[in-house]
Amino acid sequence: MKIQLGIDIGGTTVSIGGVLETQLVFAHSVWLAKGCKPLVEQIVKLWKWAMEQAGEREVELSLGIGCPGTWVDGKILPGTALNLETYSGEMDGFNLGESVWRHLPKNWVVRVQNDAWTQAKGGIMLLSHSKMPCKWGYVGPGTGLGGAIVEVTPSGMIVSGVGDLCAKAEPDLCGKLIERLTGYTAYSIARTSALADQFMPIFDRMGIRLGQVILDMVDRYQVDGIIIGASLGTQPPVSGWLLSAAHDFIAKKERKAPPIEVIHDPRRAAILGACNLENEASRGSMA
């Protein structure tokens, strides 16, 4: 069996991993290099690192990348990848896959898709009951806020997905908001009880917004379940604060909360999802 390579580009870090079936055999994360050229150079450097880690083992000639933004025909739509820019409009229309492919052997394929969609796909693949016919909504509060819808067939095949769905809610439910309002990161607050007590109303409001997003996905997309991912949504105690407030909000609305699954290893899920982008826009051809 061949190792698959996948990359997850988040709001603050970039991770690469090698996957056998659903297991990470190696992985590495670095701080995000913003801007078109620095990002491409960073990805190529990570790819070279991964090939060294693979050694003599066979590797699929395909690199999958999950990246913020809305992607059409391999290009980023204007204004949808602001976290990656060093100046306004830098990423608009940028073809990340083709730019990376130019630096790889020409028998490789590079596939790119929205990072929320890749983490949602990988998260579903890690669920023990993922083979049930279901439509999942994904909410990923991290540095920014990711959202996606993923459908699964009775055989367990993930047949469709839409990413970048939570742009309107992002200002109210992301790590950037916490830092702007408090001057601290969420994890600095979580490690200090006095700060946690002082700023808990902010997390309560964010949890209420999470509850609103969950109900909106149920009403608008008729999802059967919700997957929570990304850093704020998965790492305690912050994830617990948000989910508790979300459940309280849903209960006060006299609504029944859909089944909610939390991705316990979001990096693994994101890399796994990026490794499985067979039907996504690609650049390059197999040998």
The average pLDDT across 120-136 equals 80
Assign 131 a pLDDT band (cuts: 50, 70, 90). Answer: low
Assign 66 a pLDDT band (cuts: 50, 70, 90). Answer: very high
Give the whole-angstrom CA distance, residue 176 versus residue 57. 41
The pLDDT, as a whole number, for residue 174 is: 93
Q: Could you say which DSSP state residue 77 is in? A: P
Handedness of CA 42, 166, 73, 89 (dihedral sign): negative
Fold of 3-117+268-284: Nucleotidyltransferase; domain 5 (3.30.420)
On the question of a common fold for 3-117+268-284 and 131-264, the answer reads yes
Pair 53, 16: CB distance under 8 Å: no
Top-tier CATH class for 131-264? alpha beta
The b/e string for 165-198 (b: 16+ C-beta within 10 A; e otherwise) is bbeebbebbbbebbeeeeebbbeebbeeeeeeee
The full set of domain ranges for the chain reads 3-117+268-284, 131-264
For the chain, give the percent of residues with pLDDT over 70. Answer: 91
The model's pLDDT over 209-256, given as tens digits with 9 standing for 90+, comes to 999 999 999 999 999 999 999 999 999 999 999 999 999 999 999 999
The pLDDT, as a whole number, for residue 281 is: 47
Q: Evaluate if residue 170 carries a pLDDT over 60.
A: yes
The average pLDDT across 150-167 equals 72
Q: What is the DSSP string of 227-262?
A: EE-HHHHHSTTHHHHHHHHHHHHHHHTT-PPPPEEE
Give the whole-angstrom CA distance, residue 216 versus residue 112. 27
The pLDDT, as a whole number, for residue 47 is: 98
Pair 90, 35: CB distance under 8 Å: yes
Structure tokens given for 112: 């790119």
Query: What's the predicted TM-score (pTM) here?
Result: 0.90
Assign 133 a pLDDT band (cuts: 50, 70, 90). Answer: low
Assign 165 a pLDDT band (cuts: 50, 70, 90). Answer: confident
- Of residues 285 and 81, more confidence is placed in 81
Cβ atoms < 10 Å from Cβ of 286:
10
Residue with tokens 């993923």: 150
The model's pLDDT over 251-285, given as tens digits with 9 standing for 90+, comes to 999 999 999 999 989 999 999 999 998 655 444 43
Assign 21 a pLDDT band (cuts: 50, 70, 90). Answer: confident
The pLDDT, as a whole number, for residue 168 is: 81
